[in-house]
Amino acid sequence: MTDGFFKVAVSTPKLRVADCHFNCEQMIKKAERMAAEGVRLLAFPELSLTGYTCSDLFLHDTLTAGAQRELWAYARATAGLDMISVLGLPLEHHGRLYNVAAVVSRGEILGLVPKSHLPNYGEFYEARQFAAWTGENTVHRFFFQGKESAESMSSATSEDSRNSAFSAASSDYAVALGTKLLFRVPGDTEICFAIEICEDLWMPAPPSAEHAMAGANILVNLSASDELTGKAAYRRELVKNQSARTLSAYLYADAGEGESTTDMVFAGHNLIVENGVILQESRPFGPEKDRITEIDVARLNSERRRMITFPLSAEGGTERGYQWIDVPLSDWGETALTRTFQKTPFVPSSREHREERCDEILNIQSAGLAKRLRHTRCQNAVIGLSGGLDSTLALLVTVRAFDSLGLDRKGILCVTMPCFGTTSRTYDNAVSLAGELGATLKEIPIQEAVTLHFRDIGQDMEKQDITYENGQARERTQILMDLANQCGGMVIGTGDMSELALGWATYNGDHMSMYGVNCSVPKTLVRYLVQYYADTAKSASLREVLYDVLDTPVSPELLPPREGEIAQKTEDIVGPYELHDFFLYYMLRCGFSPARIFRLAIHAFDGDYDKKTIHQWLSVFCRRFFGQQFKRSCLPDGPKVGTVSVSPRGDLRMPSDAEYSLWKAELDRIGESLV
């Protein structure tokens, strides 16, 4: 049983060149500490038992034999740890010396993976001592793992006693050897890792690419990459790129400062990357080299299911010569999470690239609108400007589209339609915004028209129900559509993706437009884009009005104000948008179950919302998401700006009458556990 997370670590322990016993002892200490922290997979650097810089000493039997003895010593010393270790050593096989990675777990050596590509340039000249592996998988036989040897080696503490125990071995021990080994951890989440060594990654076609296509979702690299000016940045991008290309997690364990400095220096640049995103990284030459985190294997598997162009082998690579090796680990239940999950996954996390990302999103929105305006030969646009966030962003995007086409901004008709719920604050902001941006403003009060309509259909004006609210929304849409016909213009939709996911839109009211520029922009991102525009606006008066729009509570303003203030606050009714956007991302982007989304939300919003509150709004989200699909099935056209969209023509093909009983049952079980 797994919970989709797999705790991993990379470590660069203290090292003495050619002192196998010392190196082994250091790795055992690291393994014990890592196991105590719940680590299930631990990777050490290349040739970690001997050190990478032994040079021609690798050709000495004393060193290679010592490395094999210490490999066995490590296996026996860590036999009681419920963990997998990957460590490096030189291995003689059929008269050739290979640079290999050994996979060790519970006292057993499960596999040996040799290096495929050897550097033979600059300071490196591995080809002088080692052979590159070019063959198929085979078997290597050690001659020191007999039962008698096992018992004596497990109790041997000094190097001399280990030598004696090693010489007493009486039977051989067969271990799989080859580059096409896949190590599988049984459980309800498919966890499979494979290995390549240092230079293998730097090749035009790294072995890890084929490992991933055969089924490996975690790639381990035992490396000894010397430090040169600018190399850390290149190495970082190389690892990130390979992780992203292979839709995998990539563990990069690098040699450190204990290596010989005769000709080069090593900095222990360790990395753990998941699908192109760095989860953990040690600073080159920094004091702490150990890095621990949890890999979200369930998400990696989900990404591969979605990306059908990713060429996964239907037979698990067996047709390409791959061999699967099961690695037994105990049922660890729920993995304790130490990694962070962004509260706003749709919002760029790095402020460093904030302007670039915001410009990119606004350009996508405005380019989509500009194309539609150009295609329809339309020189006018009509926007219902409420003074709220969504219509503000729609106007900013339309202004940018008009500017790109060289159209007069006066062709943007901003229509404010005050009614029963309109407050002076939003009205004033709408008027100011249109003026600041040079658009045309038209005010059409709709109280009289709505009152007449209610009289016609027999709606009691005192009954402030859904008809009372939607009647206003549909009246506004009718006005916008008719004005667009009058001026030969196009109604620009203002509704955002969060509202569409929740169905928080009036069917054939604000739900409808001729082009919806915000249709794939969630509410948290809408706020972020308007904030960016405000921060970078050259006009102080424009900044002032935009900041006030940002400070205004989100509301459809369909109910009368209370003492002049907004009475109907959306987030009090449907829940916080930061929670709903979080739910939306992990449900649509990753396909996660309610239980998994609930767990991630608890972790991400710790201290902000308690479990019952998160469960309450997650239940609301799932119920509304399934129940409101009919509104999304007939959405107007609009541009996709990110990896998630609810367009029925693009990312979301969902029946309008699908049952959500499975999701509800899971939510009910969560709710029962909270009582």
User: What's the half-sphere exposure (Cβ side, CA atoms, 13 Å) at 533?
Assistant: 29
CA 418 – CA 498 distance, rounded (Å):
24
**Considering Cα of 461, then 462, then 468, then 473, what sign does the dihedral take?**
positive
- 135's CB contacts (< 8 A; 6+ apart) are 178
CA 544 – CA 548 distance, rounded (Å):
6
Q: How far, in Å, are 148, 164, 496, 505 from residue 387 at the CA level?
A: 82, 84, 15, 17
Asked whether 567 and 396 are in contact (CB, 8 A), the reply is no
Q: Please say if 463 is a catalytic residue.
A: no
What the block records as the tokens of 7 is 């705790």
* 455-478 burial code (b ≥16 CB/10 A, e <16): eeeebeeeebeeebbbbbbbbbbe
Q: Give the SS3 label for residue 254.
A: strand
Asked whether 598 and 618 are in contact (CB, 8 A), the reply is yes
User: With 0-12 CB in 10 A as exposed, 13-18 as middle and 19+ as buried, what is 528?
Assistant: buried
Beta-bridged to residue 89, according to DSSP, are: 100
Q: Please say if 523 is a catalytic residue.
A: no
CA 331 – CA 329 distance, rounded (Å):
7
Asked whether 414 and 434 are in contact (CB, 8 A), the reply is yes
Closest Cα partner for 632 from 496, 524, 527?
Answer: 496
Element (DSSP H or E) covering residue 210: helix 207-214
The residue behind tokens 């209370």 is 562
Q: Please say if 198 is a catalytic residue.
A: yes
Q: How far, in Å, are 550, 559, 566, 651 from residue 423 at the CA level?
A: 15, 10, 7, 37
Asked whether 142 and 175 are in contact (CB, 8 A), the reply is yes
Phi, psi (degrees; rounded to nearest 5) at 292: -130, 140
Beta-bridged to residue 253, according to DSSP, are: 222
Closest Cα partner for 211 from 236, 237, 248, 251?
Answer: 248
Choice among 7, 30, 115, 240 that is catalytic: 115
Instruction: Assign 3-class secondary structure to 341-384.
Output: CCCCCCCCCCHHHHHHHHHHHHHHHHHHHHHHHHHCCCCCEEEE
Q: Give the SS3 label for residue 557.
A: coil
Instruction: Assign 3-class secondary structure to 513-531.
Output: CCEECCCCCCHHHHHHHHH
Cα 486 from chain centre: 47
Q: Give the SS3 label for residue 266.
A: strand
Choice among 20, 198, 519, 590 that is catalytic: 198
Choice among 25, 46, 303, 469 that is catalytic: 46
User: With 0-12 CB in 10 A as exposed, 13-18 as middle and 19+ as buried, what is 651?
Assistant: middle
What the block records as the tokens of 474 is 């549909």
What the block records as the tokens of 195 is 């290995």
- Using DSSP bridges, classify how beta strands 108-114 and 96-105 pair: parallel, antiparallel or unpaired: antiparallel
Element (DSSP H or E) covering residue 140: strand 138-142
| Active-site amino acid positions | 46, 115, 198
